[in-house]
Amino acid sequence: MRYVSTRGQSASNTNPSGPTFSEILLGGLAPDGGLYLPESYPQVSRSELEQWRALSYAELAYEVLSRFIDDIPPDDLKELLRRTYTAEVYCNGRVRERAGEITPLHWLEAPDPARGEGGLAILELSNGPTLAFKDMAMQLLGNLFEYVLAKQREEINILGATSGDTGSSAEYAMRGKQGVQVFMLSPHERMSAFQRAQMYSLHDANIHNIAVRGTFDDAQDIVKAVANDRAFKARYRIGAVNSINWARVAAQVVYYFKGYLAATSDAGDDDRQVAFAVPSGNFGNICAGHIARMMGLPIGRLVLATNENDVLDEFFRTGVYRPRATAETVATSSPSMDISKASNFERFVFDLVGRDPTVIRALWSAVDAGCGFDLSGTPFLARLPEFGFVSGRSTHADRLATIRGAFERYGLMIDTHTADGLKVGSEWRTAEMPMVILETALPAKFEETMVEALGRKPERPAALHGIEKLPQRVTVMDVSVEEVKRFIARQLG
């Protein structure tokens, strides 16, 4: 497997043909500031897909990820996946009909071909330790980091940014890991009380929380600026766990395959298409769906759902990508999507423009200058339908109505972000294919809005009762690259 940067310059310390998976895992961004992708997407045939129906999640993960990872011995990779995807790790206390499933599919409306109904389902992705879909990839990243670092006898200092869920998922996955320190930036007072408590109540010596007085975009810009300072990055061995890290996105590809197989289990036709609706902020989750589709998974539609911060919806409707300034990025009741500069969007646009790094460098030069770009008058936009994307937005009022409707109609309590996905996904339903909504988190993480919508508190796992009352440890600072660098340097001596 050869990897390339979206901006055209890849480098490797050991391999003349380009960086290995393990080098990308530890490095995060490419040296030119671009994002890594496979030189070409591995293909999955319909017959292979049919053979995968009976596999466990860990076994399916091996079949998918072994096509991207060729520098970890097969037996070692299988063992890493077996240790990661277990019922013990993904059993947050939610009662499930099918015990042991990592990502159960829950039908809200079963398909009825005789009546021309494609069906509507929720794919449960929030059974991990932090009650968010980020655990699906982050638990694997923790084990991959520990494995690779031990093999290479190295250490790494992870710098990341979170809008709410990545931080806790990363910290729970990395806490206590040998050779790993975590520095996690979050937007000060822009996450739910539960999200803050999940992160800030961790007192492990290798976990460092930093709250910046700004938005997630400000925090993400700091992470990228530090990563692009090659001297600082090399001196302090800075790595990444955000979805700019290719390993995160690759791990998320797996649950699209699992969701497709579950949604078509009784179809009797492996050519049947499925639509996925994905709440989207940083574009990493739906980017994994794009990659699964490029690999040959029969995804008929990728429905991108935004909240009031609708930069991505605007692009897919108009061809204009116009990231908002900090002052224009509003705080919403689906805070993990309060993002106006989606890092992983560059990966998709790279494919959209024919994988031309010259075009990407020009477009992202405009993005970095605060201008954005307009593809509406270019041949590139005419290619957009080839990739199956449609989009829509959801507001606070929509969110409350969708949460109430799901509870009244299906007896199901969903979180605010999943509500955005259900609202927009329902608007794009067709009779030809099932619509699968990707669950983002459990309602317990957004208790205030759930009470507003339903007049009752959501249930939470017993181990997380009273988490907001635990002592919290966090350093608050202004939006400053240099201040973050100084903090990292002090902690590392």
Q: Which of 78, 134, 224, 233 is catalytic?
A: 134
78 is annotated as an active-site residue: no
Residue 319: how many CA atoms within 13 Å on its side-chain side? Answer: 14
Place of tokens 């996904």: 425
Integer Cα distance of 283 and 404 in angstroms: 27
Annotated catalytic sites, by residue? 134
